Structure 1
Amino acid sequence: MLRSSFAAVLALSAGAVSPASGLAAPVVAPGLAPHRAIYDIELKEASEQSGIESMRGRMVYEFNGSQCTGYTTSFRFVTEIESGEEVSVTDQQIKTFEDLVTRRFDFDSKSYTDDKLDKGVRGAAVVAGSGIKVELQEPASRNVELADAKFPAEHMVDLIRQARNGARFFEARIFDGTEDGDKSYLTTTIVGRSEAAKGGDHAGIVEQALAEASYWPVSIAYFDDKAIGDQLPVYTQSFKLYDNGVTRDLTLDYGDIVLSGRLAKLEMLEAAGCN
């Protein structure tokens, strides 16, 4: 389960409450940088229980849009998995649109194994009253009502705001449309102190785009929203976060397997203006 919230990148007004309506005020997200990032993925650790001997892949993430028109993300994660004498290829594709003003989130995800479709999930979620309403179109048409939660870009905006203000730990409920698109996750986020770039800290095109920029080490743990009592996270991701929304040096911990991701290529895209 790869969280699309890692990829749905990016206000000082995040989380503010409007006295007139009682709803969250529109989030303003200055300085978010449209970009296309490519990560090389490698297996870092695997338990015997996982049955995986080797794993490698590539993750491509593209972020576009503006605070006025909304943000679109296109995400693809392809991995080659070797288990014993078998080799399989998985392909996860996710497209989302998030409107930070109306707090609407559209999602469309497809998962393939060896070019065969395993699962397709498509729907839309919108904040309504004190919760969110999810309208699913695939794999079957149905409606779901959940507690209020942040959508991916909104959560990242809040993360950057918290980091800028010196916060080191905070919790949030997130809905990102992953899995079956019908539940949210509780998250805990730990933010390290800002670190300046060091000699040799970047490489190639990454250095050109992020030269002299500082970053925060970030770790986010996702927990089952319905679980009771002490529990382990269902997924944890760690990365270095720049205040323009770019991330690098990923660690993706699924429990039985841990993956690392190196930012291999970074292309900064033209920013969309607001009329």
Structure 2
Amino acid sequence: MRHSTTPPEEKQLKTVLPVLSLLLLVSGAEAASVAPHRAIYDLTLLRANEGASLQSASGKLAFEIDGSSCDGYTVNFRMATKYHQPDGGVSVIDTLSTTYENGAATALRHQFKESVNGKVRDSDSIKVSRETAEAEGKGEMKSKPSEPFTVPSGAALPMQHQLKLMALSEAGGGRDSSIVFDGSDGAKSFRAISFVGKQRPPGSVARDSGNAAAAALKGVSSFPLTVSYYNLDGNAEMPEYQVSFDMYDNGVATGLVLDYGDFALSGTLTDLTFLDKPSCP
């Protein structure tokens, strides 16, 4: 991964939505068991390169999805992380977001707020609409009302992209390359390169067998997944960021790894609550 001196707060904000969209992976797949749920993870520092100027990190990630394929999905997300620098400095970064994507993949609404050490650093809302799931989209940001943007034709919204990866896993796994718009960097779309593993039988994730928070997953099959996000502009050899985890067929993720390039965080599932599943008419 590339080395950088970009502050952790700038990196965390850009990685929130990719994490968000990947945690949506099978929650909208009718072929799987749809399971609206709330999951909480403890975050710890997995790795820090010299250029990261980072001594330690810890935090919480909370994720909640509700809705259905007919009504669309609403996702609430919060990631709060404390970063300790070698010089004794501390940054507490708290990012909250709410995202809605309709079942037809023709509309996306996203709003977020990020605070650093208790002070709001950034906030915005984004809307995207298009006539069909494959058409060019029209987008706008509340912070830049006079600068509308377009989403490339053929680009996938988060849920649309993840259902594609789910189908790939069910077909035996493999590699996928897609243009994705998720709102993580304003008007920018990304090239997402994904490596999807084969479906594994229940009980195959040894890490979760001793985790009480994962007890409800014992009878559920899963598969490993890694997605790397590249800028569409230029010919970058290294991704902007990368996320990986084990995904269960009811939409619950465990073993999170959020790789920002010069440092990486790991996430351990500590609490899991299943919510009522809405039914489509």
TM-score > 0.5, shorter chain as reference: yes
**TM-score, normalised to structure 2's length?**
0.86
CA contact (8 A) 1:10 1:156 kept: yes
CA contact (8 A) 1:103 1:126 kept: yes
Give the structure 2 partner of residue 79 of structure 1. 81
**Displaced runs of 4 or more, over 4 A:** 27-30
Distance 1:6 1:256, change over 3 A: same
Partners of 1:184 and 1:254 lie apart in 2 by 18
2:226 alignment partner, SS class = strand
Partners of 1:100 and 1:85 lie apart in 2 by 47
Equivalent positions of 1:87-98 (< 5 A) are 87-98=90-101
Percent sequence identity over aligned pairs = 30
The partner residue of 1:47 within 46, 49, 54 is 49
The offset of 1:7, in angstroms, is 2.1
CA contact (8 A) 1:250 1:261 kept: yes
Letter in 1 for 2:19: F
Give the structure 2 partner of residue 23 of structure 1. none
The offset of 1:142, in angstroms, is 2.6
Give the structure 2 partner of residue 220 of structure 1. 227
Higher helix share: 2
**TM-score, normalised to structure 1's length?**
0.87
Equivalent positions of 1:1-275 (< 5 A) are 1-8=14-21, 9-10=24-25, 31-83=33-85, 84-101=87-104, 103-128=106-131, 130-138=135-143, 140-148=145-153, 149-179=155-185, 181-196=186-201, 197-198=203-204, 201-202=208-209, 203-207=211-215, 209-227=216-234, 229-275=235-281
Partners of 1:167 and 1:85 lie apart in 2 by 45
Partners of 1:48 and 1:94 lie apart in 2 by 31
Letter in 2 for 1:173: I
The offset of 1:5, in angstroms, is 3.4
Unaligned runs of 5+ residues in structure 1 are 15-26
Unaligned runs of 5+ residues in structure 2 are 1-13
CA contact (8 A) 1:219 1:237 kept: yes
Q: How many pairs does the alignment contain? A: 258
When the two chains are superposed, the root-mean-square deviation of aligned CA atoms in Å is 2.0
- 1:78-123 superposed Cα distances (whole Å, 9 cap, x missing partner): 0011112111200011110000225200000111101111111212
